[in-house]
Structure 1
Amino acid sequence: MLWTIIGILIVLWILGLIGHVAGGLIHILLVIAVIILIIKLVTRSGKS
């Protein structure tokens, strides 16, 4: 589920760079997705 959301956000980010769709909102969402990904990876590696 998380990977799907991240993939969609990356695609929207690329479209935003090409066609200026949604402006800075896509960049903010992408940063949030990367932060969530890092937190998930850190908490997963901590449990191992």
Structure 2
Amino acid sequence: MLYYSVVFFIIAVVAAVLGFGGIAAGAASIAKVLFIIFVVLFIGSLLFGALTRR
């Protein structure tokens, strides 16, 4: 999921450089949502792993 977040971020940067503002904003928002989902799942797995080791 982090891979897709980075891909959409790169697409947003390239689109912004080329002047496609709408596409850049859409790709950036998708990248932001995917990154937030990744962070939540990562923290959840860390907590779950720490709780099951006890």
> What band does the TM-score fall into relative to the shorter chain?
0.5 to 0.7
Q: Counterparts in 2 of 1:1-48, with a 5 A limit?
A: 5-6=1-2, 8-12=3-7, 14-16=9-11, 18-19=13-14, 20=16, 21=24, 22-48=27-53
Aligned equivalents of 1:44, 1:32: Cα separation in 2: 18
**Unpaired runs of at least 5, structure 1:** none
Using the TM superposition, give the Cα deviation of residue 39 of structure 1 relative to its aligned residue in structure 2, in angstroms. 0.1
Using the TM superposition, give the Cα deviation of residue 31 of structure 1 relative to its aligned residue in structure 2, in angstroms. 0.4
Task: Give the alignment's Cα RMSD to 1 decimal.
Answer: 2.1
TM-score w.r.t. length of structure 1: 0.64
**Unpaired runs of at least 5, structure 2:** 17-23
TM-score w.r.t. length of structure 2: 0.58
Post-superposition, which runs of at least 4 consecutive aligned residues in structure 1 deviate over 6 A? none
Using the TM superposition, give the Cα deviation of residue 38 of structure 1 relative to its aligned residue in structure 2, in angstroms. 0.3
Aligned equivalents of 2:46, 2:35: Cα separation in 1: 16
